[in-house]
Amino acid sequence: MKSLKTIILATAAAFGLTACNDYLDIMPENALPQEEMWASKSDVESALFAGYYNLRSSITTHLIPLGELRAGCVKRRSGNNLDKLDVKPNDKTYTDWKIFYKVIADANGVIANVEKARGNDETYTEEEMNSHLCEAYFLRALSYFYIVRNWRDAPLVLEPYETDEAEYLLPQSSESELIAQIKKDLKTAIDLGAAKEEFDTTWETKGRATVWAIYALMADVCLWNQDFNEAIEYADMVIESRSPYAPRFMSTATHSSWFKMFNPGNSEESIFELQFSSIKYDGTSFQTNDLPRLFYNTTTTTYMLSENLTREFNSDATQIFNRFNGDQEMYVRTRFGGYYAPENSVTGYVWKYLGGSTISEPRTQNYYDPNFIIYRVAEVMLIKAEALLMRGMGLVPADNEQAIAIINTIRQRTNLLDVTATANSSLVELLELVISERIMEFVGEGKAWYDLLRVGRYVDPTGDINFIQTFFIPKVITYNETAGENKIKSTLMDKNAWYLPVNEDEIKRNPNLVQNKYYE
């Protein structure tokens, strides 16, 4: 694995991409010489597109496995050390944070040099420059947010490494320091007032950082950091916006409406998704991916649903089948929506990346180009619901009623009956409903582990609720069939084990790094 210094030096330069469609093309291997960089607006866009490209390159190696496998809702057909909660410091696959630092390096280059580019390019306006800065701050914040949720403490790199003279043997910054920087970056982007509500094309509006993506990320970060009032405030900036360009919750309760989010993608509900295309642009290469193959419902698939989650999906599908006399169009996110399982089978598969142009037919290999959604409006709504419950610890009936209304809005879209909980139900019961909706709605989207971990981090000031033993560990036991109950209990009682180790090669190269105590 490359050292942090090498990663940042190798990606600090713009990559010679010149057009918007180049974001969808393969990134050249070699960077421009330093003296030739930042000559124009196109150099800035090239660096930004490299950041998006690097983030896109992390989907199958990091975003899905790190966000899913430890929770166990989605599992590998043949378990590995991540499923088993048994990652070691010498594991080069799951202790490798370099892809996130590549994105950070691209963003740092833009933030440090965008004014230089404007000085060299008379056509580069201040408005365009500030818009590019908003994108760079978003990319840096999102990358550090992934790092925080997986490693907790990590080096905080805010300047581009453009020469070998720069200090690169950095110690880890604490989680609180990283979160503070993430929020600072996002607030800076918001305060610039230049983040776009839309770009010239749909794929750019959904595939680049708009103001809606910045608000959604800030709401997510605030929820993680237990800044509940702020989480609600930023969620409402998306949900309550009256802008004609704001993303909207797609409330039509039919399969064809819901599935548009995944095929063809870039739907009205989408906020930010990583882009692929089976169509060549201007002579570029095809931009397809392995997501349909990884989740394909065959005996050779990589990813499957846990048996308990399959049963839960089957139960929802049965409820809808009975209510609507077997009308498949009413299944929405259940059968041939979020999942597929043969009738009465406990073997289930994620369908959203696999589904084709009809309800039950899979994509053909010519169209293996599903986008990967990072944020959509339904998630922002559930972020708000969770924050409403937690800010009053379930003791504020008006907040509980709002949260229940959000849950039911999402269930109504999927043709499920409303929950029976009331404003006087317990916090644990209400929180269970929110997380269950998240698991079902976002299965396979790289969310489940972070959702369970986030709730495990909550603390009841009265001491009545132990979120680790009441919620976190039991939920992981429910879904993670690979690790086993005893392993889960013994591991997750140690909070240090909630996070990944630093790769041992990085520690050898940088003596200022300290290993997570659980792995010493």
For 280-333, write each residue's pLDDT tens digit.
665 556 789 999 999 997 777 899 999 999 999 999 999 999 999 999 999 999
Domains along the chain?
A: 4-248+501-519 (1.25.40.390), 291-368 (no CATH)
Is residue 261 within 8 Å of residue 269, measured between CB atoms? yes
| pLDDT at site 162 | 77
Report the distance separating Cα 384 and Cα 235, nearest Å. 6
Q: H/E/C letters for each residue in 229-290?
A: HHHHHHHHHHHCCCCCCCCCCCCCCCHHHHHCCCCCCCCCCEEEEECCECCCCCCCCCECCC
Indicate the burial class of 356 (C-beta count within 10 angstroms; 0-12, 13-18, 19 or more). Answer: middle
What is the CA angle 80-81-84, rounded to 5? 90
List residues bridging with 373 in a β-sheet: 273
Quote the pTM value: 0.94
Which residues pair with residue 303 across a beta bridge? 76
**What radius of gyration, in Å, describes the C-alpha atoms of the chain?**
22
pLDDT value at residue 282? 58
Q: What tokens appear for 395 in the block?
A: 């003791």
How many residues are given for the chain? Answer: 520
Cα 343–Cα 257–Cα 355 angle in degrees, nearest 5: 45
**Angle, helices 175-192/126-151, rounded to nearest 10 degrees:** 160
Model pLDDT, residue 299: 76
114 vs 120: CA distance, rounded Å: 10
What pLDDT is recorded for position 456?
A: 98
Low-confidence ranges of the chain (pLDDT < 70): 1-35, 163-166, 280-285
Spatial contact of 158 and 188, defined as CB atoms under 8 Å apart: no
Q: Tell me what pLDDT residue 285 has.
A: 60
Q: List alpha helices for 273-358, DSSP H.
A: 291-294, 307-323
Q: Which helix (H) or strand (E) holds 76?
A: strand 74-76
Which residues lie across from 287 on neighbouring strands? 277
pLDDT at 13: 38
